[in-house]
Amino acid sequence: MSADEYNATVIQKILMTPGLMTLRVRPDGEAPAFTPGQYIALGLSSSEPRVKESEPDPTIYKRECLVRRVYSISSSSVDKEYIEFYISMVRNGQLTPRLFTLKQGSKLFMGPKAVGMFTLDEIPEHKNVIFIATGTGLAPYMSMIRSEFHLQKKRKFAVLHGASCSWDLGYRDELATMDRLTERFIYLPTITDPAKDPTWNGLTGLIQPITKSGILEEKTGLDLTPENFDIFLCGNPLMVDETTKILLSRGFTPDVKKEIGTLHRERYW
Ligand SMILES: Cc1cc2nc3c(=O)[nH]c(=O)nc-3n(C[C@H](O)[C@H](O)[C@H](O)COP(=O)(O)OP(=O)(O)OC[C@H]3O[C@@H](n4cnc5c(N)ncnc54)[C@H](O)[C@@H]3O)c2cc1C
């Protein structure tokens, strides 16, 4: 058991930095259907090597096993050829240092079914949406944007994306292009380590103060209220929790089980 469970092939790997990549995976059989925003499991055997940039695996494996974790899908649900993921390495993690050794043509395990409620399904068609993410928390939004944007719905999208430095802002070119092409799309990247990135001339600092700063209102031309927007938060749990507090004070209501509010959240760990 484990490597014989591999049922998918890497068809493209783009390494943005040694610890950040996009991976396109083609299942051996039919690609599982998914709703943009959902996630699916990836897995590799515990006997697979780890990349040299990682730290030793703290886990002692009594026998070979399949190490699985879930990843948000970043590709459009219209693409049936492959499923794309946006993955960052946790240096002492069990799975990610093994995932980073994969190359075009490598085999791996992909779960048969995508799941998750972090989608646009319950959001009224006319409602404007703000997507807020740290790091790879951008992945589910890429799937939603890539799947929905061509449908020419009337809503506005704003993306507020935080990372350490500009080279960690995955999908930046694609999002900046969309921002230039239409007034319906606003892209606001911010970096938290400008000392390392002296040529950066965009926003700096954490998501939390930027959410309070008034820039979302200025760029969208609308007040930050639950009447005007549904807001999605994804990524680092601290960002999700602290930004939730700010948005609760503005009247946004979180989803509670099947009761859909105006604030939708996904924590990555
Ligand atoms: C719904 C959902 C969707 C997800 N989608 C993505 C995605 O699109 N891209 C992606 O890269 N990850 C995503 N994750 C995280 C992913 O499932 C793994 O947790 C992550 O890749 C680490 O796996 P690992 O086996 O290498 O580390 P583990 O061995 O599981 O973790 C080692 C330690 O690192 C901590 N940790 C886990 N993840 C991180 C992190 N990102 N940064 C810092 N510390 C961390 C854990 O708390 C743990 O203590 C998602 C998680 C969830 C729940």
Please list the pLDDT of the chain residue by residue as tens digits (269 residues).
578 899 999 999 999 999 999 999 999 999 999 999 999 999 999 999 999 999 999 999 999 999 999 999 999 999 889 999 999 999 999 999 999 999 999 999 999 999 999 999 999 988 999 999 999 999 999 999 999 876 667 899 999 999 999 999 999 999 999 999 999 999 999 999 999 999 999 999 999 999 999 999 999 999 999 999 999 999 999 999 999 999 999 999 999 988 999 999 999 99
Residue nearest to atom 24 of ligand 1 (CA): 93
Quote the radius of gyration of the chain (alpha carbons, Å). 19
Distance CA(175)–CA(66), nearest Å, equals 35
Distance CA(38)–CA(113), nearest Å, equals 10
| CATH 2.30.40.10 applies to domain 3-110 | no
Distance CA(87)–CA(136), nearest Å, equals 6
- Specify which residues 254 forms β-bridges with: 263
Let me know: does 249 contact 228? Beta carbons within 8 Å: no
Does the beta carbon of 269 sit less than 6 angstroms from any atom of ligand 1?
yes
Give tens-digit pLDDT for 176-209: 999 999 999 999 999 999 999 999 999 999 999 9
Distance CA(77)–CA(169), nearest Å, equals 23
Distance CA(210)–CA(213), nearest Å, equals 5
- Specify which residues 84 forms β-bridges with: 24
Residue nearest to atom 47 of ligand 1 (CA): 269
Let me know: does 265 contact 255? Beta carbons within 8 Å: yes
Query: Of the residues 60, 90, 102, 234, which should be mutated to test ligand 1's pocket, given the most ligand atoms within 8 Å of the CB?
Result: 90
Region 128-267: CATH code: 3.40.50.80
Does the beta carbon of 42 sit less than 6 angstroms from any atom of ligand 1?
no
Distance CA(216)–CA(254), nearest Å, equals 20
Gap from CA of 77 to ligand 1 centroid (Å):
23
- Domain spans of the chain, in order of start: 3-110, 128-267
Structure tokens at 53: 């940039």
Does the beta carbon of 228 sit less than 6 angstroms from any atom of ligand 1?
no
Phi, psi of 109 (to 5 degrees): -95, 135
Does the beta carbon of 70 sit less than 6 angstroms from any atom of ligand 1?
yes
- Looking at residue 1, its pLDDT comes to 56
Let me know: does 54 contact 92? Beta carbons within 8 Å: yes
Q: Which atom of ligand 1 is nearest to the CA of 70?
A: 17
Structure tokens at 51: 């990349």
- What are the residues whose beta carbons fall under 8 Å from the beta carbon of 151, sequence distance 6 or more? none
Gap from CA of 88 to ligand 1 centroid (Å):
8
**Residue-level length of the chain:** 269
Find where tokens 């995976």 sit: 25
Distance CA(48)–CA(268), nearest Å, equals 24
Does the beta carbon of 136 sit less than 6 angstroms from any atom of ligand 1?
yes
Let me know: does 230 contact 224? Beta carbons within 8 Å: no
pTM over 0.95: yes
Does the beta carbon of 190 sit less than 6 angstroms from any atom of ligand 1?
no
Distance CA(10)–CA(235), nearest Å, equals 24
Distance CA(94)–CA(106), nearest Å, equals 18
Q: Which atom of ligand 1 is nearest to the CA of 136?
A: 9
- What are the residues whose beta carbons fall under 8 Å from the beta carbon of 248, sequence distance 6 or more? 254, 263
Let me know: does 120 contact 36? Beta carbons within 8 Å: yes
Does the beta carbon of 95 sit less than 6 angstroms from any atom of ligand 1?
yes
Gap from CA of 8 to ligand 1 centroid (Å):
21
